[in-house]
Structure 1
Amino acid sequence: MKRDSALVAYSSSDESESDSLTPPPKKRKLPVLSATLVGPLHVDDPSLHQGRTRTTPHIDGQFAAHIYISVPLDRDSTLFKLLCKILESAKTMTPTLHNFWSASKDNEPELHISLSRPIYLRAHQREDLKRTVKLIAEKTRPFTASFARISELVNDEATRIFLALEIGAGHHELTTLTTSLMPTLRAVRQQEFYASPRFHASFGWALLGRHASSPNPDNATNSNADRPPIASTSIKSDSSNSSASLVPDEHPKITEFPPALLPTLNEQYGPSLTGSTAKSFDISEISIKIGKEVSRWCLNGTCSA
C-alpha cells in the first residue's frame, strides 16, 4: 500500500520579499465625539457659593443624598426671630458669619436635623433608599423634640465651622431612626451615622482656615451632620488669640470662634431658647434629598410627597 506523501508549501523568495515590503495598514482615527454628546466639563467655582468648596469631587451618574428632619421656620415665629437675634449678636464677634436662609430662594426657611452623613448613590440605588426611608417613616410615631443649647460644630473636612442648636428632648427617638437606616447604608457601601451623635440644627456658618503659624486642629472628633458639608464637633485651638486672625483670602476665613462667643450667646439667649415660647416642636416627617429632588414622608405613613 502506497503512503501519501506529506505536502509542504514553501513560499518562493519573491513572495517573502514582496510581503516584507508591504507596509502595515494604517490605524484609523476614531472621530471626535460631538460636544453635545460629551457634555460640558463640570467645574466648581467657590466664588458662586460664598467661598464654599466641594469636599467630594463631582462624578457623572452619582447623586448626593441626605436624610434629615425638617423644622419649618415661619418668619413671624418666635424661634426664627430668636435665631436672627442670636446671629446679629454673634456677628459682632465673628463678622464673617453667614446664615442659611438669606441666600435661599425658598420663601420660608427651615432647619435641618441630620439623620445621615452625605450619601453618594448611583442611579439605580435611589429608589431603594427612598423605599427604605418611607418604610421607616411608616413604622415611627410622631414625637416632640426641643433645643437645649447653642453649640459650635465643624465639618469632617475642617472647611466650615457652624453655630448650631443642639437637641435635648427627642435624642432617643432620633437615635432610633439613625439605627434603622444602618443596614441600608451598609448595603450601598456608605458610611453609617456617628457612633455618639450630637443631633443638632445648624443656623450659622463661617469658612474655616488654618492659622499661618498653627497646624490644623487635631483634637476635633466627628459628631453629627447637617447640610453638606456635614457638621461634627467643636474646635479648640491651642492659640489663645488665633480666633481673631483671618487668613488672607477673597473669602475671609477664621481659625475658630472667639472663646467668649458661646458663653455669651448661651447666657443671653439660652433662657429664651429653652423657655416656654420656643421650647418644643413636633417632629412628624422624614425628608430625603437626592440631587435636587426632595421627598417627604409623614411619620406613621399618614401622607407622602
Structure 2
Amino acid sequence: RLGRMLVGYSSSSEDEGEAGSELCFFRLPVPHCLLTMFPDDVDPQTEDSSLHGGRIRSFKHERGNWATYVYLPYHPVEEFGEFLDELLAAVKTHGVVLTPQEEFHISLSQTVVLRHHWIQPFTQSLKTGLAHCKRFMCSAEKLKVYCNAEKTRTFLSMEVCTGHAQLMDLIQIVDRTMTDFRLETFYKDPSFHVSLAWCPGDATVQMQECLQQLQTLVDDHEEGPFTLRLDCVELRCRTGNKTFCFPLDS
C-alpha cells in the first residue's frame, strides 16, 4: 500500500529487553512519480464554478466517479458561426449574455455516474446494442429555451424537427444499457435538441420574451430558414476525459 507506515524499533541497551523497547511510527511521503502513475482516477476539475464560466456540477465529484453521457455530434457548417453571433447579439439587447457551447450535439442520455471499472463493460454493451443501427439524417430549425433541473443553467437551443423516430430507436438501446447498470434512463417524452449557447442561473423568463424575435432571425435567413442538418453516422459516449465512438451501419 502506498504511503504505508514503517515501524522503527529502538532500545537504549540490549539488557533492557522488551520493557525498554520503544515503537516509533512515522509515515513516509509518497513520491510524486507514484502519485501520477494513475491519472485515470484523477479529475483535474475543481468545485470552483468561477473556473468553469459559472457552471455548477449537478453532482459532487468523487474520486473514481466519471460523469458520463451519450450523444450524437453536430459538426457546424461554415456559416453557423456568423448565424450564432447574430442570435447572441439579439439576446444581449434584452440583458442576457450567453456563452456559445464548446461543442454541439443531441443528447441521447442523461448525465450519469460511472465507476472507473464499469467503463469497459458499459461501452461494450453500447457497441453490441448499436451494431445493426443504420445511419440517418435529422434536422432542427425551431428555437427553444431549456433550463436544467437544478435551475443552474439556461440554454438557447434548436429543437429537432425530423429524424425523431430514429432517435427514439437509439434511445431504447441506450436505455437498455443504462438499465443493465442500474443507471437513470432518458426522459420518457424527450424533446431532442441541439444547445447553442447558455448562461448561468434560470433566465427562462427573459429568454422567452425575446424568443419570437430570435425565431424571426432563423426564419428570415438569407436563403430561407437556417436549419441545422445532422448526418448521424456515429454515436459517442463521453466519460470523464475519454470519448468512445460507435459508427452506425451504412
Provide TM-score, normalisation by structure 2: 0.78
- Residue 151 of structure 1, CA deviation: 0.3
Give 1:290's aligned amino acid. T
- Residue 169 of structure 1, CA deviation: 0.2
Give the structure 2 partner of residue 98 of structure 1. Answer: 99
What is the aligned length? 224
**Alignment equivalent of 1:178, drawn from 168, 171, 174:** 171
**Alignment equivalent of 1:199, drawn from 192, 195, 207:** 192
Is the alpha carbon distance of 1:172 and 1:111 closer, same or farther for their aligned partners in structure 2, counting shifts above 3 Å? same
> Do structure 1's residue 69 and structure 2's residue 72 form an aligned pair?
yes
Is the alpha carbon distance of 1:186 and 1:292 closer, same or farther for their aligned partners in structure 2, counting shifts above 3 Å? same
Percent identity of the aligned residues? Answer: 26
- Residue 79 of structure 1, CA deviation: 3.3
Is the alpha carbon distance of 1:281 and 1:55 closer, same or farther for their aligned partners in structure 2, counting shifts above 3 Å? closer
Separation in structure 1 between the aligned mates of residue 28 and residue 228 of structure 2, nearest angstrom: 62
Give 1:299's aligned amino acid. L
1:161-199, Cα deviation, whole Å (9 max, x unpaired): 100000010111111111111221112221100000000
Give the structure 2 partner of residue 299 of structure 1. Answer: 248
Alignment of 1:185-224 (within 5 A): 185-208=178-201
Which has the greater radius of gyration? 1
> Do structure 1's residue 112 and structure 2's residue 105 form an aligned pair?
yes
- Residue 92 of structure 1, CA deviation: 1.6
> Do structure 1's residue 257 and structure 2's residue 206 form an aligned pair?
yes
Separation in structure 1 between the aligned mates of residue 242 and residue 180 of structure 2, nearest angstrom: 22
Is the alpha carbon distance of 1:92 and 1:42 closer, same or farther for their aligned partners in structure 2, counting shifts above 3 Å? closer
Q: Which has the higher strand share?
A: 2
Separation in structure 2 between the aligned mates of residue 273 and residue 185 of structure 1, nearest angstrom: 43
- Residue 278 of structure 1, CA deviation: 3.3
1:76-105, Cα deviation, whole Å (9 max, x unpaired): 2x334322222221222134211113xxxx
8 Å contact from structure 1 (residues 129, 184) kept in 2:
yes
Separation in structure 1 between the aligned mates of residue 45 and residue 139 of structure 2, nearest angstrom: 41
Is the alpha carbon distance of 1:206 and 1:286 closer, same or farther for their aligned partners in structure 2, counting shifts above 3 Å? same
* Helix, strand or coil at the partner of 1:203: strand
1:113-137, Cα deviation, whole Å (9 max, x unpaired): 0000002111221112211222333
- Residue 264 of structure 1, CA deviation: 1.1
Is the alpha carbon distance of 1:125 and 1:280 closer, same or farther for their aligned partners in structure 2, counting shifts above 3 Å? same
8 Å contact from structure 2 (residues 141, 226) kept in 1:
no
1:48-85, Cα deviation, whole Å (9 max, x unpaired): 111212221111111111100001114x2x33432222
Give the structure 2 partner of residue 153 of structure 1. Answer: 146
Is the alpha carbon distance of 1:133 and 1:275 closer, same or farther for their aligned partners in structure 2, counting shifts above 3 Å? farther
Give the structure 1 partner of residue 133 of structure 2. Answer: 140
Separation in structure 2 between the aligned mates of residue 267 and residue 42 of structure 1, nearest angstrom: 39
8 Å contact from structure 1 (residues 147, 273) kept in 2:
no
8 Å contact from structure 2 (residues 96, 206) kept in 1:
no
> Do structure 1's residue 122 and structure 2's residue 115 form an aligned pair?
yes
Give 1:176's aligned amino acid. D
1:195-232, Cα deviation, whole Å (9 max, x unpaired): 000000101111115xxxxxxxxxxxxxxxxxxxxxxx
The runs of 5 or more residues in structure 1 that have no matched partner are 1-22, 102-109, 210-253
